[in-house]
Amino acid sequence: METHLAHRVANYARAGIPVAVSLLLVLAAILPYGLPKSSLAAPILALISVYYWSVFRPELMPAGAAFLIGLMVDVLSGGPPGLNALVLILVHWAASGQRRVLAGKSFAVAWLGYLLIAAGAAIINWFFASLFHTTAIESVPLVVSHAIGTAAYPLVALFLARMQLLIRQG
């Protein structure tokens, strides 16, 4: 009986890895490292993580979790309230909707999928941030952020793939 309970607890813990890792990535990005604009990494890491898990393990990254991760980014980064929450729900929807095209393919295909979905997320982010501020905000920071996210994707995806191995063990 005790072994059964321990097995169930271990299964729940493994199932929580995607959301926990996503939240830890956001928290790690928000820490004050003394680097200019280092808090901009939080939305990038959250987007990569939600995209990755929505493609490869969508049952472990529900839309509600994507929303909560985005809300955490909004609160910690001081951005427009709900903007990252909305963007991450849309990323979840797009990535899980393209799962059949992206999962099980080469890394390059998954990276290209990220590139396209993240570009759409950047446009949506720009549009709603401009509405929030009632003026067209400068797009250069979003383009730079998208480029950084595209460059960071391989390293973060490798880390997330290692986390996925922890989920499969059991």
| pLDDT digit string, tens, across residues 10-66 | 778 788 899 999 999 999 888 876 665 556 788 999 999 999 999 999 999 999 999
Across 1-10, 137-146, 149-158, least confident range: 1-10
What phi and psi, each to the nearest 5 degrees, are found at residue 6? -60, -40
Q: Is 80 exceeded by the pLDDT of residue 2? A: no
Q: Is 60 exceeded by the pLDDT of residue 1? A: no
pLDDT the model gives residue 34: 61
pLDDT the model gives residue 36: 59
Q: Nearest-CA neighbor of 30 among 16, 46, 54?
A: 46
Task: State pLDDT tens for residues 57-107.
Answer: 999 999 999 999 999 999 998 888 899 999 999 999 999 999 999 988 999
68-102: string of b/e by CB count within 10 Å (b at 16+)?
bbbbbbbeebebeeebbbbbbbbbbebbbebeeeb
N residues, the chain = 170
Instruction: Band the pLDDT of 167: cuts 50, 70, 90.
Output: confident
